[in-house]
Structure 1
Amino acid sequence: MKQSICGRENLPAGRLGLMKAIAFFGALAGTLHLGGTLNARAENMTTISDNGIPPEILSVDQAVDFALKHHPKLGWFRHRVGRKNAHVKVSQSHFFPHVGVGALYGESNPGLGNQSFNNMNFMTPIFPMDYAKMGSISSSNEPLGVASIGVNQLLLDFGKFEHRVKERLAGKKASEYWLYSKDAWVILQVKEAYYRVLLDKKLIEVYQKNLDQRKLVMDLTRSLYKADYRSRLDFDLARVDYEKARALLEFEKEDLEARISHLNDVMGLGQAGRSDYTLTTPLSSEASMEPVSRDLAITRGLTYRPEINAYRMLFRQEREKTSYEKAQHYPLISAFGSYGFMGNMTTGQSYAPGGGWWSGGGSLTIPIYTGGMIRGLTEAAREKSRERKYGISDWSHNIRDQVVQARAHVLADQASVRAYVEAVKEADLALVLATKRYTANLVSIVDLTLAEVYLLDTEAALATWQYREQADQATLRFAEGVDYLGYLPEVKKKVVGHLSPKQTGD
């Protein structure tokens, strides 16, 4: 008889079928494991890359949009949301069948018989089966091969895993609100940094003019001092004012470099940002936006602030967890089934009638005594829900205080801006009068120059208050929880209309 290289033609039919089954189930299990390994490696190789930089001509909205796409902290929290979503899928998997395959090969002596057999893939035991008679003690070892496939299905858990899914869904929703809170924080940081760069640029422009005027005053005073029209004290004071103006300008230039670096940082760039920007958003508009009423501002904050909504979701999560822990007192009912081959690898003898074996049945698990474990877990979850409830109250107090303070600051800033707008007009008028009086030889060039310096100082003060108003407006919108909704329309669809003070019970 012709012999095959692999010896396959000499194998008995039963043994050949058994080896086919072992090879099939082994290959299937290996494929599933390899697929999981490749996916895990792909996830481990994922890195955060940032190749873009913002445009040189930049508006405040462009800066915010860029930061919302590139800030690393937002990427961090987005992946946290993804992790919570994966936990939801894990909890939902209990409602679906669990299927597994297995294969084994080994030596046995004196043989297999009257032995209980357990499917290697499941916790559920399979009833004892009599496969063969016991051999003699002195008989040689018998090679044993097994291949099987099994399925396990949860039938009834009395709401246990339903509460688990709801708990995980609430946790996912809470993580989304924490992400929104970081979005709002980034928006506030970008706006404050953007307007501070605008302020420094404006102050540098004003301080440069101020330095030029101070130098002119110093030179004129020196000339008058040498001509005995001014005292030495007047000249020394003019020189001190000039040195102060120069130091102020140098400080502002250094501060501008630091502020641009901070703007790059809050946009998520670090050292990859530009060294300078042409900012197109004005420091202050002609008509400042008046804050809404105090009660409406507080209502907005209690409704839309993501932090308090996150705690509301955490409170819901702990309530569902309490229900889940209580449900562990109830039984679990499952069904299982298995099919496979078991036989002698030498003789090809199958130990199951018909060449294969099968089993099926159900299982009932009832906790009788756990030493107080379930009661302890339930009480811990209940206390955690009470803790979250106090967290909601704490955030309510904080939000009210933040809104009231931010609104008061905006109103004070607007009053100061209005006052300095009038002061600039008066200083400009004083400069016009000083110019006419100088033309008529009624005042000296020093008096004219001092009028110009006063106008520049007033413009610098106005720019400072305009910056404060813009920064406090951004802080107020942050406290009200409305700014991030304007930049994230998809988030706005989820939040606006779904929450209200009546629904939250605050």
Structure 2
Amino acid sequence: MSTSLRTRLSSLRYAASLLTILLAGCVSGPDHVPPQMPLPAKFEAGGSTSNGNVVTAEWWTAYGDKRLDGLVTHGFRENLDVLQALENINSASANVTVAGAGGLPSLTVGASHTVSGEKGRLRTSVGTTNTSGGDASLSWLLDIFGQYRRSRESAIASLGAASATADNAKLTFLKDLVESYIDARYYQERIALSQASLKSRQQTYELTQLQLKAGAASRLDVVQAEGLVQSTKSEIPGLQQSFTESAHHIATLIGMPASSLMGELQKSAGQPVFRGDIRAGIPADLIRNRPDIRKAERELAAAVADIGAAEAQLYPSISLSGSISPSWVKASGASGGSLTSWSFGPSLNLPIFDGGTLRANVDIEKSDAKTQYLAWKAAVLNGVEEVENALTAVRRDTQTLEPLRRQVETAQESLALSTVSYKDGASSLLDVLDAQRSVSDAEASLAATVQQVAKDYVDLYVAIGAGYLEPEHVAAKPTAKSG
């Protein structure tokens, strides 16, 4: 083998090796590293034991209300906000394919057939000519610096963000539904209390009328008793309207017409009371369990990948392209013939003067990544704050329940004693009316606190990111592999 031939073969091997290295690529830009930030070992009002994965914890079942359980199950499948968020996952998944397609070879083919001819009186006119042809074009932008690989990484991260957004929509729906159900039952309780109070005050009013006829009461006593009756009557329509609005909202949340659900909700089931444990876990659990934090982390990953895609545009790009176009022509009265044309070759695109646009694009993406990192930190701190507040509220409001129950009992006892005393003529009507007001106020305060404690548990479990996935769906979350 001659020296010249050995030199050429060596050059070819070197070029092939260089091309392989270039195609394998040095990918521009930084790689995403999951963000971290210092967090306390425990919540101020919580324990030091991790909750683990609570995304499938059906915490609302601790209210012991089968009707609520059914509404949640139905709503997860029919809530329109959740369905829209799930549909966005399909769009984000398709964007992964679109983002990576630019770095793959593109082949297009086509075919054509034309018939042409001439008519006239000249003897030189010819008959029909049939022309059949085809073409195939191939192009491939060599993704040497990883522009499309980074774009695909960004699209995959955006897919994860879309999935987390859907999870967050489920958690938002869950909070709205359970709290609206608690509100509906609260208004039903208040209606029942007002109706019972109205009955008691009506009896007092009738007794006062009898006392007036017997000369043991004044007209002022009758007017005061009647005023309390009318005041109680005026409360009930507003409470009924509030119940109706809560029921209508529940129907909207689960994707049903209000009329189809109203009859079921009008069957009173008492106020929901949470009978589960307080399980807040530790702050580090939030990074895994809260979908808004996972969404922020995925958006950060997408922003970091966009830096690489922007940096890749600073460097030269090489494209390979080629085409082949065979054709066959046959004129009337003549034999046919074929012709094939082809071309192949690389092209180089080298950005030199762009007025600083490409470099500015890199700076924009870097700034966006920093913004997303700050947004992630804010999401984490907001999550910690929400859990801390919910823990404090649960413990504070729960402590007020027993004193309020005792207050209701003493007010009812005071009313019974004052009523007997009034019938015996030993006390005035004013004592009875004051006792009735005290009973109504105490019962209303107790019902409102039961409502608030029930909502406090909702806030706590939503704040820790619990219950937005059904167990069978945990392993079925949409993913895409990078490559």
TM-score, normalization: structure 1? 0.69
Measured in 1, the distance between the counterparts of 2:377 and 2:418 equals 61
- 1:199 is the counterpart of 2:207: no
* RMSD over aligned Cα atoms: 3.7
TM-score, normalization: structure 2? 0.72
Confirm or deny: 8 A CA contact 2:68 2:178 kept in the other structure: yes
How far has the Cα of 1:405 moved from its partner? 2.9
Measured in 1, the distance between the counterparts of 2:475 and 2:131 equals 64
Q: 1:235 to 1:431 in 2, by over 3 A?
A: closer
How far has the Cα of 1:325 moved from its partner? 1.4
Matched residue, 2:410: 426
- 1:414 is the counterpart of 2:401: no
How far has the Cα of 1:390 moved from its partner? 2.1
Matched residue, 2:86: 78
Residue type matched to 1:194 in 2? Answer: Y
Measured in 2, the distance between the counterparts of 1:425 and 1:361 equals 95
Measured in 2, the distance between the counterparts of 1:188 and 1:419 equals 28
Measured against aligned partners, the alpha-carbon deviations of 1:256-280 in whole angstroms (never above 9, x if no partner) come to 2222112212223354642232468
Residue type matched to 2:382 in 1? Answer: N
Matched residue, 1:92: 100
Bigger mean CA deviation after superposition, 168-177 or 454-463:
454-463
The SS at the match of 1:277 is helix
Matched residue, 2:360: 376
Q: 1:280 to 1:171 in 2, by over 3 A?
A: farther
Q: How does 1:35-74 map to 2 (within 5 A)?
A: 59-74=67-82
Confirm or deny: 8 A CA contact 2:129 2:329 kept in the other structure: yes
The SS at the match of 2:145 is coil
Residue type matched to 2:83 in 1? Answer: G
Residue type matched to 1:82 in 2? Answer: N
Confirm or deny: 8 A CA contact 1:150 1:339 kept in the other structure: yes
Q: 1:433 to 1:289 in 2, by over 3 A?
A: farther
Residue type matched to 1:67 in 2? Answer: G
Q: Structure 2: which 5+ runs fail to align? A: 1-64, 117-123, 479-483
Confirm or deny: 8 A CA contact 2:150 2:305 kept in the other structure: yes
How far has the Cα of 1:315 moved from its partner? 1.1
The SS at the match of 2:313 is helix
Matched residue, 2:382: 398
How far has the Cα of 1:290 moved from its partner? 3.7
Matched residue, 1:269: 256
Measured in 2, the distance between the counterparts of 1:429 and 1:315 equals 63
How far has the Cα of 1:168 moved from its partner? 0.3
Confirm or deny: 8 A CA contact 2:422 2:428 kept in the other structure: no
How many percent identity over aligned positions? 18
Q: 1:443 to 1:70 in 2, by over 3 A?
A: farther
Residue type matched to 1:399 in 2? Answer: G
The SS at the match of 1:459 is helix
Residue type matched to 2:273 in 1? Answer: S
Matched residue, 1:283: 271
The SS at the match of 2:217 is coil
Q: 1:271 to 1:290 in 2, by over 3 A?
A: closer
Residue type matched to 2:85 in 1? Answer: F
- 1:181 is the counterpart of 2:168: yes
How far has the Cα of 1:409 moved from its partner? 2.6
How far has the Cα of 1:406 moved from its partner? 2.9
Q: 1:270 to 1:409 in 2, by over 3 A?
A: farther
How far has the Cα of 1:381 moved from its partner? 1.2
Residue type matched to 2:70 in 1? Answer: Q
Measured in 2, the distance between the counterparts of 1:97 and 1:392 equals 37
The SS at the match of 1:276 is helix
2:313 to 303, 323, 328: 328
Q: How does 1:465-480 map to 2 (within 5 A)?
A: 465-480=449-464
Q: Structure 1: which 5+ runs fail to align? A: 1-56, 109-137, 496-506
How far has the Cα of 1:441 moved from its partner? 6.0
2:136 to 149, 155, 170: 149
- 1:350 is the counterpart of 2:337: yes
The SS at the match of 2:205 is helix
Confirm or deny: 8 A CA contact 2:72 2:177 kept in the other structure: yes
How far has the Cα of 1:212 moved from its partner? 0.6
How far has the Cα of 1:362 moved from its partner? 4.5
Residue type matched to 2:99 in 1? Answer: S
Q: How does 1:2-17 map to 2 (within 5 A)?
A: none
Matched residue, 1:308: 293
Confirm or deny: 8 A CA contact 1:300 1:481 kept in the other structure: no
How far has the Cα of 1:242 moved from its partner? 0.6
Larger RCO of the pair (alpha carbons < 8 Å, separation 6+) = 2
Aligned length: 402
How far has the Cα of 1:143 moved from its partner? 6.9
Bigger mean CA deviation after superposition, 191-200 or 281-290:
281-290
